[in-house]
Amino acid sequence: MQQLYIYLRIFFDVGRIDAQATAIILHAVGTIPIVIIGAGYFLNSSVNFKDIKDQGSSQNEEI
């Protein structure tokens, strides 16, 4: 995200606020759909939070 901010500032003479806003929006556009898709797969799978918690506690006991 910082690279986009620097690129916009240097090459396009964009203001600091506009460059930061653009970088944040583009980061959100790339991240939010992946999180939603992952949450959908998680909810449709047979895995639940209790299984994940149980697996985590069993791994801690092995160490």
What does the DSSP assignment read for 1-63?
-HHHHHHHHHHS---HHHHHHHHHHHHHHHHHHHHHHHHHHHHHSS--HHHHHHHHHHHHHH-
58: containing domain: 2-62
Residue percentage of the chain with pLDDT more than 70 = 87
Question: Residue 62's pLDDT is what?
Answer: 60
Q: Which residue has the higher pLDDT, 29 or 11?
A: 29
Average pLDDT over every residue of 23-27: 88
Does residue 1 register a pLDDT over 80?
A: no
Q: How far apart are CA 46 and CA 43, in angstroms?
A: 8
Q: Is the pTM of this model over 0.75?
A: no
Number of compact structural domains in the chain? 1
